[in-house]
Structure 1
Amino acid sequence: MFGQSLATSSLTGREEPDLQTVKDTLLAVFPLSPHDILDVQPYLLRAEPEITNYQAEIDRVSLHSRTERFVELERKRNELARIHGDAVWRCAPISRLVPDILTEIFCFVRDADEYSLRDCKSVILPLAQTCRLWRQVAFSHPLLWASIKVCSIRWWEDHDDPGFHDHVARAVRFHLDRAGDVSLSICIECNPCSACDALLAVRHRWRECCIRKLTGESDARVQPAHYPSLEHLELDLYQASHTFEDSPRLRSYKGHIVDIYLPWRQLTRLTIVQDIPSDELLASVLSECGGLEFLKFDLCMGIEQSQPIAIHTRFNLPSLRQLNLTCWNWRAMASHILLSVAAPALESLEFCVRMESDILVGVVDPLAEFLSHCVALRALTLKNILLGRHDLHRVLGYVTNVEHLVWWDLGKCTSANLLRMLSPPPPPRPVPDGAGDVCEDPILPFPHLVANEDSESDDDGDLDNDPMDGFGGALLPRLSYLEISGGLSPREQLKLIEHAVVSRALRRDDSTDVPPLRHVILELIGASESCDSWSAALLNRQLPGVQLMSARAALDLNHHHSQPPSFSWPNPRLLIPRYIAQHTMTGYDKPKFMFPEVPLCRQMVLHTSNITNDCYRIQYRLSGLGSRRGLRGIAHITLRGVGNHVLCVADTIDACFQVFLAIRRAIGSADTPIESDLETIYSRYETFIRLLDKLTSMEHPTIRNLDSLQQYIDKKLAYPPIVHTLVMRITPNWSHRTIVLTQVPPLICAVRTSMKDIAALTADLTIQGRAMHERFALPRLAEVKALPAGVRDEVGWLFSQSLSGLAFWGDDAKVHGSVILGAAYQLIPRLPALRFVLLVIM
């Protein structure tokens, strides 16, 4: 910076060989790991000032004339700048991603928006315009451009802008050109336009097609044709259609089946929407769809019939694995499906009624009959299916192999029936006189468990005092996942929930292939304070092996994990020294860049701010646990270590500023001897390096303390691994133990990540610090001190401006460290109050 440069040497014909070595090294660099970047950094550091000096010499020569030397200097400057810029780009993390990884990232971006083009909005084109590498990757993968949706020109719009039509058409044609010859995924929801014409012209390439809300005019354009590539089809048409009858590869269809003509025999997935077809039409379609693996009736509506439909034909679907029935008219659905379909290989069944209905006559018999043949059923979902106790037992008694059960209830409080069915009867024990219903069973982890408590009668009127009377034992012996939403009265049925969940979780079966209950989700509608206090007791004493979180805690945890992870490896661009602004014809401009130490220190302060916030949250959550002296002691030691680490960061930043401050004073003063200035600079420099070494040595103990705190929480507060997941959405007020278990470990991980980021920045500062010793050497400082006073003042001003806020960041970090230490001291274990004090004075 301040001494004779390689550029000046080249002007006199004595070009040092190091510059050629720098060029050759930067031309050949292609870093594959962070270690390779470290090897390249010295060459990047060497090339940057040479470019600056070339430019300064060019500016000086250009004041006289454009001589051959000017042209030669400009050529060398441009060559070195190009080589240096390419090397910096190749060292950037994003440029080191291989094309396959970039392609996967681009695919995620496309899938997040569902289509690569939505009218005029392309999600791939901005990626291709980012840089040359991304453009090459995006343009070399046609599948990125092959999903197109035209939807903004709606059929109800009478006056569309012709210019907008042309814009959409150009965008569609551009994407079709980029897609090459690959198969297309298209969606049309618009009036006739040139964009639709462009899509219809390549209908032979359609692999997925969705056409919705077309008028008669639009439908006339989609004429019957040969669709050799079509595999997935979704239609929402208002009239009969033979358009896609010639589709030899069609496998999936979603839409109406009335007056729709398709190659039904080929289908493996069928979703019927918005209508209940007649028995004859349903029989006609299902008789041809013998190869179905997935069948769904979605939002089916129809007229309720007084008598069940007489089913004359039973359709065998031997390949059907999943059946979903979502409807408004339950009996019509049961009549059409349950009595007419046989699916011996069915693995998943979902029934859902979208509205409250009391139409239960004739439902249990077809449902039980259907399930009696589903020996392979593993997952069962019943949503708003109002079944009484005996009917529920009859239905579930056939599906003994079910492992995954979901039960939703709109508020009839019938979920208690299900819990009773799943609970094994407690072993008989003599009950002392006057004990009532209290059962002291040492086998269960619930002392004083009130057995069979239920103050509400069932809707079907057959609920007696003994919930297991005549049933003999629990149903669904292989159940490992249970989800119940609604239909519970927490105030009255808390003990029933305890019994059902814990008895299944602690079950010990002779057969090793029968798993106990491991995942439980209970959503208690109409929760109360008593339910919340019960959940706290359940956490602290009664239910081992439970990971319990509220909906708010789960959202907070998910939000914390959704934050992008901090980049632990330093950006190579920050490792390139940016010196003070160049001298131009109008004098010195305000510097656009700063010394490399400055942004590194700024990032450190940002991390200390994050650490402070996380440590405060940790202290706040741990304080709610009360008198847990062991945990509070470990937390105090951990936070104190983190606070001291942050204070060391503050001292390091301040020491860095003191080095630059000494250099600034040496530049501005021509009276002090240069030896005295260098002595001050080197003294502060040694302090800076010593603090960097201290900061590096503090990393491992601090992270080790964080690990110890997390291990202690996991060991002392977590429960034995019996029930893996229990989510109870009751109220937002949860026990402090739950809060610590669910929220403190992510905060500890965040602090640990910030500490590692500071360690990486410390390593970079160490590299820059070693280079600083040579950067401000005696010859360079002497050259600056020999300049006129006015020039020295300008250089000193630029020097100060380049330091940005370095003078204040150390103070900010000190505040952060003090806050963390204050939080740590609030966790010091309190000794019990002394009742007697005896002083013995000898």
Structure 2
Amino acid sequence: MVSPFASLLGTNYSPTDEEVPKIKALLAEPAFRLKRLEDEIRELQKTLDELAAERDSLVGYMDSHRALLSPIRRLPLDILQEIFLACIPTHRNCAMSALEAPVLLGRICSSWRSISLSTPRLWAKLHFVEPYLPYAFEPATRTTQHLEGAKSWLDRSGLCPLSISLRTPHSSYAPDSYSSLQDFIQTLIPLASRWQHIDFYMPLATFDALYQLTETDVPLLESVAFHPLSYSETGWNRFRVLNGPRVSSIYALGNDLMAEDFPIRWQELTALEMAGPTWRTSVTSEIVLRILGNCPKLQSCKVILNDGHPSSGVLLAHPPVECKFLHTLQFSCENAGATFPRLLDRISLPELRSFILRWEVDSGACPSLAHQFKGWTKLESLDIDSERTLTPEFLEDFRSLPPTMRRLVIHDVGLAEQVPRDTDDSLPGLAVCPLLETLEIYKCVNISDAALLRFITARMGVAPRPTLRRVHVTFNRYMTLDILPSLQPFIENGLDVSISHNERAPMKLAPWLGLSDT
């Protein structure tokens, strides 16, 4: 439509008194046409709505009938139960939540609910968390409901062996504080004959209820983990359940693990973990050697070590210990000093696959491990946290790593203001690890961005096919070079790269700074 006012449209022009009637006259015919179009649109929309309603009715009719043909409706009961069991977490116990199996499975339909409730193995794993009620409103009602839910869960497990983990959100307990843990423990005790795996994190006093049980009460018990909320003397030599005929995995405080009086079938242990802070423990190298010597079947061992002022003669006099099946070994050390290499020299580890070292910063320099690396010919994973991890001397130790290495985790304890090295030999010994798949460095300071880029580029250029799959580095300093663009071709070919730096906070100029009304 042509308008005499076309040149004025879209401007701030104000029409004169003579032009106002002309503009209104121009709008009469378009307004009439607009009304006709709106009427036609309403009629067409009504027709479309009717067609859409008919279509939706047909779709609903067809979908409801097609649902009857769904293959899952025709699955045999035993197959459906196996699918349900595959939904259960394998690395932990099941939470009392409708967001995951087995509770979630019962929320789909009445048929699935009936199947889930009648499948005992779905309910054989339970993670019980004490309700956190610091300012509880009707605490007795709420905790009672929670406890009743746990009892119903256990009732559904039938006669299946049980895996139970228990946690409290409280860091400590006042003598008169309300706790449902004691009631839950009393619920568990009659089921002790079905315990297979137990993991209890609760106040020390709550463990007293377990004293009444003996090794004959727990014929199926295989693994035990006790986490008291304090590091006081536990008196766990009174826990006769630890001497169960099938107990092979123990987690307990280091001070309680004394080979002479702890009620454990040491010769049957396959997994042992000592807990507690290293500065508190009295576990020495001599005790570690004694315990390892009493555990010929041990496969995984995590120990804390605090020699204080040990006598090197004690270590030299102790006979060598051979751990034929030990594949995972972790040390958390304090005051080990020069005795630590002597301790390792007294342990034969022909099957060691994974070695983890946590060396306390105030324990002095971590000794060289080059000699041990040469002897661990099957080592695949190394995880080290020490204040000399990425020093030139320690990096030189990496030249002694066996060619079987696949995973290296380094915790670099360096000062954030330290200047990183930018030389081609910043990561020297890793060249002898042709099968390296994973490199993780945390709090990295000593290695520069450019040196890391050169290392990754060199590893990704290995013929015929690079083995490196994952690089995860967190720098405890600011970025000096953005290397991600250069790594993009490798990332597109499947390399998993995660690199982060400490970032400078941007300076912001606030014109209102200091004014009273800001």
Same fold (TM over 0.5): yes
Q: Return the alpha-carbon distance in structure 2 between the equivalents of residues 332 and 158 of structure 1.
A: 53
Q: 1:327 to 1:282 in 2, by over 3 A?
A: closer
Query: Which of 298, 305, 312 is 2:309 aligned to?
Result: 305
* Residue 270 (structure 1) aligns with: 272
Shift of 1:407: 2.2
CA distance in 2, matches of 1:318, 1:138: 44
- Cα pair 1:522 1:726 within 8 Å, conserved: yes
Counterpart for residue 219 of structure 2: 228
Deviation (angstroms), 1:256: 2.1
Give the structure 2 partner of residue 407 of structure 1.
410
Query: Which residue, 451, 455, 458 being the options, matches 1:496?
Result: 451
Question: Does the alignment pair 1:256 with 2:253?
Answer: yes
Q: Does 1:381 align with 2:383?
A: yes
User: What is the CA–CA distance in structure 1 between the aligned matches of 2:380 and 2:240, rounded to whole Å?
Assistant: 39
The alpha carbon displacement at 1:307 in A equals: 6.7
Which moved further from structure 2: 338-347 or 107-116?
107-116
Structure 2 distance, partners of 1:352, 1:122, is: 35
Matched, 1:316 2:271: no
| Shift, 1:263, TM fit | 1.3
For structure 2, list consecutive stretches of 5 or more residues without a partner in the other structure. 1-54, 168-178, 229-233, 257-261, 504-518
The one-letter amino acid of 2:365's match is: L
CA distance in 2, matches of 1:144, 1:330: 47
C-alpha displacement at 1:130, in angstroms? Answer: 4.0
Give 1 or 2: higher strand fraction.
2
Could you tell me how far apart the structure 2 residues matched to 1:528 and 1:192 are? Answer: 48
Q: 1:420 aligns with which of 390, 405, 425?
A: 425
Partner residue in 2 for 1:60: none
Structure 1 pair 410–141 and aligned structure 2 pair: CA distance change class (3 A): same
Instruction: Identify which of 203, 210, 216 aligns with 2:199.
Output: 210
The answer to whether the 8 Å contact 2:439/2:470 transfers is yes
The corresponding residue for 1:483 is 440
| Bigger CA radius of gyration | 1
Q: Letter of the 1:399 partner, please give it.
A: P
- Assess if the C-alpha contact under 8 Å between 2:405 and 2:433 holds in 1: yes
Stretch of structure 1 that moved more, 147-156 or 225-234: 147-156
Aligned residue for 2:274, secondary structure, equals strand
Sequence identity (%): 19
1:245-644 correspondence runs (5 A): 245-259=242-256, 260-275=262-277, 276=281, 277-297=283-303, 300=304, 302=306, 304-305=308-309, 310-311=314-315, 312-327=318-333, 331=337, 334=340, 337-353=343-359, 356-357=361-362, 359-360=364-365, 363-364=367-368, 367-387=369-389, 388-394=391-397, 396-412=399-415, 416=421, 420=425, 422=427, 474-488=431-445, 493-508=448-463, 516-519=466-469, 521=471, 523=473, 525=475, 528=478, 530-532=480-482, 535-536=484-485, 538-539=486-487, 545-547=489-491
Aligned partner letter, 2:240: T
Give the match's secondary structure for 1:201. helix
Task: Name the structure with the higher helix share.
Answer: 1
Matched to 2:235, the amino acid is Q
Separation in structure 1 between the aligned mates of residue 93 and residue 382 of structure 2, nearest angstrom: 33
The AA in structure 1 aligned to 2:409 is V
Aligned in 2, Cα 1:222/1:88: closer, same or farther, shift over 3 Å? Answer: farther
Q: Corresponding residue for 2:145?
A: 167
Aligned to 1:203, what secondary structure does the other structure show? helix
8 Å contact from structure 1 (residues 308, 335) kept in 2: no
SS in 1 for 2:220: coil
How far, CA to CA, are the matches of 1:134 and 1:482 in structure 2?
A: 45
| SS of corresponding position for 1:253 | strand
CA contact (8 A) 1:378 1:401 kept: yes
Cα RMSD between the aligned structures? 4.5
Where 1:382 maps in the other structure, the secondary structure is strand
1:196 is displaced (CA, Å) by 2.5
**Runs of 5+ unmatched residues, structure 1:** 1-41, 49-83, 425-472, 548-717, 733-842
Q: Is the 8 A contact 2:125 2:163 kept in 1?
A: yes
Q: 1:149·1:188 contact (CA, 8 Å) conserved in 2?
A: yes
Aligned partner of 1:90 in structure 2 is: 68
- Establish whether residue 140 from structure 1 lines up as the match of residue 118 from structure 2: yes
Match of 1:389, as an amino acid?
P
Q: Distance in 1 between matches of 2:436 and 2:302?
A: 25
Greater relative contact order (Cα < 8 A, sep 6+): 1
Aligned residues: 416
Map of 1:728 onto structure 2: 499
Deviation of 1:394 (Å)? 3.7
SS for the counterpart of 1:546 is helix
Asked if the contact 2:185/2:209 (under 8 Å) is kept, the reply is: no
- On the 8 A contact 1:110/1:124 being kept in 2, the answer is yes
